[in-house]
Chains A and B, each alone.
Chain A
């Protein structure tokens, strides 16, 4: 029997005007048909930091993440505001394709295209009108270096991406995202299908990437959250219960539900 926690008692930090924010949501609600999956999420994500979203399965953290780049369009109804560069991007008139180029996403299972490594990166670039060969080559190299994959694949760019290991595939997916030159990167449990060594590599990559990108990562793994994130939000049954700096979250959680979750005595 799951313990009942009050949804009234939350500890969600806000940022003052001096902190530059990458993205911010106001009263974000998500409905799957009649099912209310996300309640009033008010979160702000500082620029060039890694923010981790943690919580049990079904807590709504992935649902929330997928709302940020409108990947829930056609799947769920999302209400509320998503502020990005002063624009509410949760409006019907917004060009979602444009938005997704600025807010990249990496998924739980590595999903490289069944194409060569090079083609994985240049396909979307070319579809967006980048035709110059030299420039495409440059992007391939830069993004693979950014994802710490270049040294492993630079001699095999024409090999099928599916011949790579799981960890390499996931870093290729990261490279593919950053090749679009986004400024926010959303990662939905990117390491859950990877072995520990690959996980470390991805984490190192992310720590390096936060210099250039603002990163929001959903993770099941609390150690991972504490290793790489600066801010940490805890989700419970569709509610954001606590949002504090990561150090505070793991050493001094503010409310009972987070304390129990961190301590592993949840439910």
Chain B
């Protein structure tokens, strides 16, 4: 076979593979949205759930999902940023660093249900925090840390060494160089990593069943004092998320329209993830332009 034909065949094959990946995604999206959207209404989006049957709206769960996501990110982004900077910039190439790297890999391969049970035993039972947003957020942080750390490390390492040399040659400290010069360049990659891990957090159910709990007590959306028991911001209240809600309605829901409820909730979950991705990307692009002065 000549080179031209080989290339043609390879191109067709690759195109087919890409088309099938995109096709599967669109099929899934279309299926979930057409099955769920007809059942979505304003009262569904904002209403409260009937605790016994699981029927009713998903307002609280939707809020819980976002709140849990924000809390998880608030905990995990700073930690993984520190760890990523350490690994990319400060860690020497020795057995200790490779031990740290393998530890991170092991952490990322832990099954989510195991992490959930661990969180249940440690935070919920041992520390007596109970089923709560904060227990869930810490458990999710365990998932997030390895992914984010690796992503941040790789994004930082991908920035040319000559940029570091330029910073150092101007008498800047390693830290100033890293934070002020390298980090802005690595920002798009880091935002991608945050978006990917946020998608996982948003869709996670197994680990949350045992930590954030399966109940969504009615909260008072007029009370924004995190100290109040009924406040949506109270990190110590149990908080069923949307993904957990879908699981619960499907497995033990007693509502007569359980299938429609979970389809609708799934559609909302998908749309929320897509919106979050889009928002994070726009924010990332905006920040990148701001710090690098590129148009």
Which residues of A line the B interface, CB within 8 A? 69, 71, 97-101, 104-105, 107, 109, 111-116, 119, 123-124, 127-128, 158-163, 173, 176-177, 180
- Known contacts A71-B165, A127-B176; A119/B293 CB under 8 A: yes
A114/B170 in contact, CB under 8 A: no
CB-CB nearest 5 A-B residue pairs: A116-B293, A101-B171, A124-B170, A111-B162, A105-B169
Distance of A71 Cα from B171 Cα, bound (Å): 10
- Known contacts A101-B171, A180-B171; A111/B165 CB under 8 A: yes
A127/B180 in contact, CB under 8 A: yes
Distance of A104 Cα from B167 Cα, bound (Å): 11
**Which secondary structure characterizes the binding site on chain B?**
helix
12 CB-based A-B contacts, threshold 8 Å: A97-B172, A107-B162, A111-B163, A113-B167, A115-B184, A115-B291, A127-B176, A127-B180, A158-B293, A160-B295, A176-B170, A177-B169
Which residues of B line the A interface, CB within 8 A? 160, 162-163, 165-173, 176, 180-181, 184-185, 291-295
Cβ of B231 to closest chain A Cβ, rounded Å = 42
B184/A71 in contact, CB under 8 A: no
- Which residues of the other chain, A, contact B166 by a CB distance below 8 angstroms? 107, 111-113, 173, 176
Distance of A116 Cα from B176 Cα, bound (Å): 18
Distance of A232 Cα from B228 Cα, bound (Å): 77
Distance of A97 Cα from B170 Cα, bound (Å): 8
- Known contacts A113-B166, A127-B180; A100/B294 CB under 8 A: no
Distance of A148 Cα from B294 Cα, bound (Å): 23
Cross-chain pair count, CB within 8 angstroms: 74
B293/A104 in contact, CB under 8 A: no
Distance of A128 Cα from B173 Cα, bound (Å): 10
- Which residues of the other chain, B, contact A112 by a CB distance below 8 angstroms? 166
- Which residues of the other chain, A, contact B185 by a CB distance below 8 angstroms? 114
Distance of A184 Cα from B294 Cα, bound (Å): 32
- Which residues of the other chain, A, contact B167 by a CB distance below 8 angstroms? 113, 124
Distance of A54 Cα from B176 Cα, bound (Å): 34
Among the listed B160, B171, B173, B294, which residue makes an inter-chain contact with A111, where contact means beta carbons less than 8 Å apart? B160
- Which residues of the other chain, A, contact B160 by a CB distance below 8 angstroms? 111
Distance of A107 Cα from B160 Cα, bound (Å): 13
- Which residues of the other chain, B, contact A160 by a CB distance below 8 angstroms? 292-295
Among the listed B163, B171, B291, which residue makes an inter-chain contact with A97, where contact means beta carbons less than 8 Å apart? B171
- Known contacts A111-B160, A123-B181; A104/B170 CB under 8 A: yes
A114/B171 in contact, CB under 8 A: no
- Which residues of the other chain, B, contact A123 by a CB distance below 8 angstroms? 180-181
Cβ of A215 to closest chain B Cβ, rounded Å = 15
- Which residues of the other chain, A, contact B168 by a CB distance below 8 angstroms? 71, 100
- Which residues of the other chain, A, contact B292 by a CB distance below 8 angstroms? 114-115, 160, 162
Among the listed A107, A119, A159, which residue makes an inter-chain contact with B165, where contact means beta carbons less than 8 Å apart? A107
- Which residues of the other chain, B, contact A98 by a CB distance below 8 angstroms? 171
- Which residues of the other chain, B, contact A177 by a CB distance below 8 angstroms? 169-170
Distance of A111 Cα from B291 Cα, bound (Å): 17
Distance of A101 Cα from B169 Cα, bound (Å): 8
Distance of A161 Cα from B295 Cα, bound (Å): 11
